[in-house]
A and B are shown apart, each in its own frame.
Chain A
Amino acid sequence: MIVAKGLRKQFMVRGQTLVAVDRISFTVGNGEVYGLLGPNGAGKTTTLRMVMGLLEPDEGHVEIGGVRTDTDPMAIRSQLGLISTNDGVYPWLTVREMLMYFADLYAVEVPVAQIRLEELAELLNIKSFLDQRCSTLSTGQKQRVTLARGLMHDPPVMLLDEPTRGLDVVGSQTVFEFIELLKKRGKSVLLSTHRLDEAERVCDRFGLLHHGTVRYEGTLDDLRSLTGKYHLVDMFIDLIREDRQPASPSPAGA
């Protein structure tokens, strides 16, 4: 269960204040997939980082399982799993070594980690190359290793940051199946993406981000009735058109 309340974060960029996220609130229940959607620069990654505790919000707070993240950020982190587009692998380690390394980082005991490793290897079909160096893996194989890495400590909450960016149809399909798996296991999933078509397929609820604020929130049906558009893509095109009209003030500046 993730609860974000009034998150706000601003950065100083070359002497100017840039509000990246402006009072965002949302809730993700157990077994629910929440899509944090928006174009590049909408504030998705910053929001995820605040949920993760990598960035301290200027205002607001996040609760994971009813516990505020700023009370014990380290303990909260073991409740979270993170998979991001930019995730790499250690070229000189074998897949097994890398997964066991992350189990150690999450303070998972070795016997538990070994059992989980075998289970995930079966599930994500990485068994055949467990003892191969990561540098020898194909893109698809690396991606499956990354997904396994995110589950080595079996977190109740999973954060996915643009997990399908740069993947082909097969790769994306693996991610969708992975998300289905997470849902089945009752995990709260926060998915950030700009691929709206994919989001429609896997998310239960959505938050449409634009210029650091949530413009629309709800299930697909809610959004359809709110905006009068059928597809998420059309809803976004409307948002962006608003920007181009000089009369309407920018929400970020508000």
Chain B
Amino acid sequence: MQEYLSNGRLLRLCLKELRESLRDRRTIMTLIMMPILVYPLLSMAMQRLLLGAGNAPSAQLEYVIGVPDESTARVISLALRETQRAASEGVRPSIEILRPAPKDANTNPNSGPSSEVDNDGNSPGVNSVEGNSPGEKSEQKSSLENGNGINSPTVGAIRTNQQAAFSIVVPERTTVSNSLADGQLDLAIRSASFERFPLPNGVSLPVFGFEMEFRDGDPRSEMAMAEFRKAMQLINDYQSAILRGNRLPASVTLVSNAVGQRADPMASLAGVLPLVLILMTITGAVYPAIDLTAGERERGTMEAMIATPAPRFILLLSKYVAVVTVAVLTALANLFASWITLSLGGLGRALLGERGFSFWTLIQIFPLLVIFAAFFSAILLAMCSFARSFKEAQAYLIPVMLVSLAPALVTLMPNVEFSTLLGIVPLVNILLLSRDIMTGASTALPAFAAVLSTLLYAAAALVVASRLFGGESATSGSQESWSDLMRRPKRRFPTPDIGELAIYLALLFPVFFVTTNLAGQWVLSIEQKLLVNALLLFGLFLLAPFFFAIYRRMELKQTFLLRLDGAESPNGLPRPVRLIGVLAASCLMAAGLWIVAYETLKLLSDVGFGTIDLQKTAALEDAKSRFREVPFWLIFVTSALIPSICEEFFFRGFVLSAFRSRLHPIRAVIYSALLFGVFHVVNGYVLSIERFAPTAILGMALGFLAIRTGSLWPGILLHAIHNGLLFWLTRFNQSELAEWLGSNSKHFPTAWILASVGSIAIGIVVLYFSTLKRSDEVSP
């Protein structure tokens, strides 16, 4: 493959594909004409929508009121029944309410007759008692109309031309306030009081007091609050009418509290823009993807092309570069067109709040679109590589687009939060991340997961595409299918190749991310947490790759470097001496490396890069003292021994072997170390970027050791000692450390640091002499 990449050949191959795409008028149409047309039209539609939104009545008629217990619910039912009575007596409310009788009153399921228990299952897991607002029955309506005077103009902020119904629920397993904040309730009534106020004439008047909460800025919640207030006002009016001016305490006292941050009422619309941008990026990529794969076959150039000695992956890569370029150009054109449209029309502010669609937002969104283009182009190529004609490619793509559109539409719904776990859902993650960036509310961990997982999926899709591209099925007409990709190979392979690694990583990362996240969120004791983490590592980094390697018929000894000692060394040293030398070198390097790792972390924290202190990595501040109570052997086994075995198996075994199958060992070590670092950034359910550098440094040392010795075992020893020492450090509290390391307890004394560097240097020298003349292990 190397000769194909020399002298700019890859660049020339990419240029050919780009020429082919960009000289085609149809590509240019999508690239330039679509953005010019789409955004002004979209902006016009949006403007109409926004103009309408100001006056539009809430379509939902039934509001959900949450109460803490059933006695509160009963008080509310009672109050609402009072309201009904007031309405049926024809009280003219002091606040005028416009209520035209709806023609479909009987067909509207929400305005059915009152029932005590509501079993409609709208809110699973909540008990529901339903009360009704005034004017449920037709005679009530007519009386209300009479009292109201339909011609009288509405006054004040409370204005409705629809009926309102309330269902009362008692949330289970959570408080009403939380439930309100989650959006499951429209209104929360935290407390209700009820008593009867005796009148001299022997009648007693009901007196109510309510304390309620609503979500500030949420139109639906505000509407529910207003409707409830109106209903209660009707009781007051009724009673003051009965009492004819007698000064008595108000029958209903209402206290309402606005809770939560004032949500942007247009927040859900902010999701539209990323969706349109993503859809346009897809549109830009579709035509070139079909044209450069299935089109190649249709024009009759495919066979001549794959009959050449050019590796298929290179052929596909050049096509991929072209498709991504066109997609990115389309994305750029759309981004600018939308930016100009939104900035000019003032629509940006209406959609995205005060900040509007700033140029800075554009700069932040662009890389996301590039990542998305990289991902979707790979998917498109994988689909089209399988097709034999344009028509067939289109037939494959349409379902894919529709299927990907469905979850995309979900992101448009209000209250869809970009939770951590959604970070690994392709397409949805990029959409939600773009939306959050536009509204200025993005968070680091899901953003990291979104970017990394999308890139990994892209790589895996590209590998699949290159295996399908120009395959036997495409040229000969035999009935081969996708399942061939997954089939167990017939011959044996010495090690995994980079393609298999890409596919494995695309499967591993989401599983790893979700499981570590869930494990981090479970409320478990520290001991259980340690055990669960160790089990996860064992499953994902040792067992799974091991079975994968067996299934794909790889040589296990070669893939996982299972030999204790590589080939016989010709330097004349007896085997035990060599082994002892290697082990001593591992120990010496470990003795120095843990201090280097600690200092790197500290340094990164000092310059403000870090998010957490090293001593907090093991357990957060509140758990620190409890962590010290855990027996050290348990910490050593779960956090040093098992991780070192599992991670060495995966990163220095599987990953390094895969990279070495195609790359120079030095590059292979660097790439595997970077991957090692990236996987350590996801630390439970927190993102610790500062762990990347020290882990990658350790990864390079371990990779170097693995290549030099041809064995995994010295690395396991080094890794275990390194982790063990770092965790041993967490056994001490600040004052103990200060006593031990001197007053400057944040850093090791200079002498220690120098000693550690010396130890690493001696370790390298010992390693060099113990593995001398093993040139076969270091040459490419």
Of the candidates B12, B20, B307, B477, the one whose C-beta lies within 8 Å of that of A82 is B307
Is there a chain B Cβ closer than 8 Å to A182's Cβ?
no
Q: Tell me which residues across on chain A come within 8 A of B20, comparing CB atoms.
A: 90, 92-93
Report the stretch among A29-37, A73-81, A114-122 that lies at the interface. Answer: A73-81
**Would A107 and B309 count as touching, CB distance under 8 A?**
yes
In Å, the complex CA distance between A219 and B4 comes to 42
Q: Is B304's CB within 8 Å of the partner chain A?
A: yes
Q: Does B475 contact A (CB under 8 A)?
A: yes
Decide: A12 and B307 in contact? CB cutoff 8 A: no
Contacts of B299 in A (CB 8 A): 88-91
Q: Mark A81-115, 1 if CB is under 8 A from B, else 0.
A: 01010111111110001001110111101100000
* Chain B interface size, under 10 / 10 to 19 / 20 to 34 / 35 or more: 20 to 34
Q: CB of B301 within 8 A of chain A?
A: yes
Digitize B278-305: 1 where CB-to-A-CB distance is under 8 Å, 0 elsewhere: 0000000000000000000001110111
CA distance A105 to B470 in the complex (A): 15
Tell me the complex Cα distance, A13–B19, Å: 39
Partner of B301, one of A12, A80, A89: A89
Q: Which chain A residue has the least Cβ–Cβ distance from B8?
A: A110
Q: How far is the CB of A60 from chain B (nearest CB, A)?
A: 17
A181 on interface, CB distance cutoff 8 Å: no
Whether the Cβ atoms of A104 and B305 lie closer than 8 Å is no
Contact call B309/A106, Cβ cutoff below 8 A: yes
Q: Are B309 and A86 in contact (CB under 8 A)?
A: no
A47 within 8 A of B: no
Tell which of B12, B303, B305, B308 touches A86, judged by Cβ atoms closer than 8 Å.
B303
A102 with B476, Cβ < 8 A, contacts A87-B303, A90-B20, A92-B20 known: no
| Per-position 1/0 for B496-525, Cβ under 8 A of A | 000000000000000000000000000000
Q: Is B662 part of the contact surface with A, judged by Cβ < 8 Å?
A: no
Number of interface residues of A (CB under 8 A): 38
**Which A residue sits closest to B471, measured CB to CB?**
A54
Q: Is A241 an interface residue (CB 8 A)?
A: no
CA distance A86 to B305 in the complex (A): 13
Residues in B with CB closer than 8 Å to A91 are 299
**Smallest CB-CB separation from B4: which chain A residue?**
A107
When C-beta atoms are compared, the residue in chain B nearest to A106 turns out to be: B308
- The answer to the question of B739 belonging to the interface, with a C-beta cut-off of 8 Å to chain A, is no
Q: Does B24 contact A (CB under 8 A)?
A: yes
Inter-chain contact B479/A105, CB cutoff 8 Å: no
Are A14 and B479 in contact, with the CB atoms below 8 A? yes
Chain A: minimal CB distance from B271 (Å): 38
Instruction: Determine the chain B residues whose CB is within 8 A of the CB of A49 once the complex forms.
Output: 475-476
Contacts of A74 in B (CB 8 A): 309, 311
Question: Does B626 touch A at the CB level, under 8 Å?
Answer: no
The verdict on A230 contacting chain B, using a C-beta distance below 8 Å, is: no
CB distance from A181 to the nearest CB of B (A): 19
Q: In the bound complex, how far is the Cα of B310 from the Cα of A204, in angstroms?
A: 32
Residue numbers in A under 8 Å from B315 (CB-CB)? 105
**Residues A87 and B307 in contact in the complex (CB < 8 Å), given A12-B478, A104-B9:** no
**Are A84 and B16 in contact, CB atoms less than 8 angstroms apart?**
no
Q: Say whether B262 faces chain A, with CB atoms less than 8 Å apart.
A: no
**Which of B3, B12, B309, B475 makes the CB contact (< 8 A) with A54?**
B475
With most chain B CB atoms within 10 A of its CB, the pick from A14, A46, A107 is A107
- From known contacts A74-B311, A77-B309, infer whether A11 and B478 are also in contact, taking CB-CB under 8 Å: yes
A223 within 8 A of B: no
In the assembled complex, the CB of B168 is this many whole angstroms from the nearest CB of chain A, namely 63
Docked complex: B1-44 residues within 8 A CB-CB of A: 3-4, 7, 9, 12-13, 16, 19-20, 23-24
Residue A149, interface by CB 8 Å: yes
Chain A to chain B: the 10 pairs with minimum beta-carbon distance, closest first: A88-B300, A105-B308, A88-B299, A77-B309, A92-B23, A86-B300, A105-B310, A11-B478, A74-B309, A78-B309
A56-B472, A87-B300, A149-B304 given; 9 more Cβ-contact pairs under 8 Å? A12-B479, A49-B475, A54-B472, A77-B309, A78-B309, A88-B301, A90-B16, A92-B24, A93-B20
Q: List 21 A-B contacts (CB under 8 A).
A: A12-B478, A14-B479, A54-B475, A54-B476, A55-B476, A78-B308, A82-B303, A84-B303, A86-B300, A87-B301, A89-B299, A89-B301, A90-B20, A93-B19, A93-B20, A101-B13, A105-B305, A105-B308, A106-B309, A107-B309, A149-B304
